[in-house]
Amino acid sequence: MGKQSFQHSKKIKTVIIAILTLAAVLFSVPFLQDFYTCYVKSTTSVKYVSKLPKVIQPAETIHAPTLQTVMNMNTHARTAVGRVVMPSVGLDDDIYAGLTNENLFYGAVTLFPNRTVHKHNLVLIGHNMGHTKVHFGVLEGAKVGQKAYLQYLGKYYQYTIYKTSTILETEINKVKDTVDSELSLVTCSAPTRTPNRILVQAKLDGEITKPRSQVYMQRSHMNMAKNTQKSVVGYDFWPLFVIWLVYLLLVILVIMLK
C-alpha cells in the first residue's frame, strides 16, 4: 500500500513539474523572441545602396513574427536602401525594398518603392514587436514637433512630425500619395493581431548636405544601437531570470513535498 502511495505521489509530482515547465516556457517565449530579434538586428552587417534594386520581390501576406521564424533569422550581410532614425523615441531601423516577411523581420519596408522623397509621400512600415526598442514599437511615443532623419538611396534628409493618429488597416487612403514631400511611418497598435495602425506623419525640412550633420546621424545610430542592447538586458534578460528562478524554486518545493 505504501509503495502504491509513493508511486501515485511521484506521478502527481511529475505532472505538476511538467505543467510548471510548460508555463515557464510559454512565459519566456515573448522575451526570447525580442532578445534574439535585437541580437540579430545589432549584429547583422548592412550595406546601403544608392539605387533601388532592378528586381523588387513581390509583396507577400504579412504575418506576425513567431519564435520559430525569428530563430530562423541570421546575421548574413544584407542590402538596404536606407535607414530611418528618430532619436527622441529611440527609433533606428534599416529600410528594405520589397514587402516581405523576411525584410520586416530585419527592419522597415518602403511600401511604395517607386515613390521618391521629393513631392511624394514616402511610406515606411515596420513591425511592433512589443519591445519598445525593437523596430516600430517606439512610434507609440512619437509626438508632434519631434524630428525624424532619413538616409535614403545615398542621401540624408530631416523631417518634422506634424501629426500622429490611430487608423484602421483598411484606411489605405491615409497613406495616399501627395504633391508635398512627406514621410509616413506605420505600424500595428499592438504586438498581437489588431485592425488598428499607428500612423506618424512628417513633413520634409530639407536635405542634409553638411558632412558634419551626416556624421551626427551616424553617431546617433551607433548610440541608439548601444542603448538598445542595454535596454534588452533590462527588458528581456531579467524577466527571463525571474521566470526561471521562480520555476526552479517551485520545482524544488514540489520535490520536497511528501
* pLDDT one-digit tens code per residue, 140-182: 999 999 999 999 999 999 999 999 999 999 999 999 999 999 9
Domain that holds residue 54: 39-232
The rounded distance, in Å, linking the Cα atoms of 68 and 244 is 21
Output the domain CATH number for residue 212: 2.40.260.10
Beta bridge partners of residue 83, listed in sequence order: 94, 151
Residue range 235-257: mean pLDDT, rounded: 84
Q: Is residue 179 part of a domain?
A: yes
Among residues 38, 120, 127, 135, which one is catalytic?
127
Residue range 63-72: mean pLDDT, rounded: 73
35-49, 91-105, 108-122, 133-147: least confidently modelled range: 35-49
Q: Is 127 a catalytic residue?
A: yes
pLDDT at residue 225 in the model:
56
Q: Is residue 221 part of a domain?
A: yes
More confident residue, 129 or 234: 129
Inter-residue contact 197 to 169 (CB < 8 Å) = yes
Q: Is residue 14 part of a domain?
A: no
For residue 202, pLDDT over 90 is answered with: yes
Q: Is 188 a catalytic residue?
A: yes
Q: Is residue 22 part of a domain?
A: no
pLDDT at residue 117 in the model:
96
For residue 2, pLDDT over 80 is answered with: no
The rounded distance, in Å, linking the Cα atoms of 125 and 131 is 16
Among residues 38, 131, 135, 188, which one is catalytic?
188
Which residues are CB-neighbours of 120 under 8 A, at least 6 positions away?
177, 178, 181, 182
For residue 4, pLDDT over 70 is answered with: no
Q: Is residue 247 part of a domain?
A: no
- Model confidence at 116, pLDDT cuts 50, 70, 90, reads very high
Which residue bears the cell 513567431?
66
pLDDT at residue 237 in the model:
73
Give the chain's domain count: 1
Q: Is residue 250 part of a domain?
A: no
pLDDT tens digit sequence for 7-18? 767 888 889 999
Where helices occur in the chain by DSSP H, the ranges are: 2-43, 67-71, 101-106, 211-232, 238-256
pLDDT at residue 95 in the model:
97
For residue 196, pLDDT over 90 is answered with: yes
Estimate to the nearest angstrom the gap between the alpha carbon of 95 and the chain centroid: 12
The rounded distance, in Å, linking the Cα atoms of 154 and 81 is 8
Q: Is residue 240 part of a domain?
A: no
Q: Is residue 258 part of a domain?
A: no
Which of 30-44, 77-91, 141-155 has the highest mean predicted lDDT (pLDDT)?
Answer: 141-155
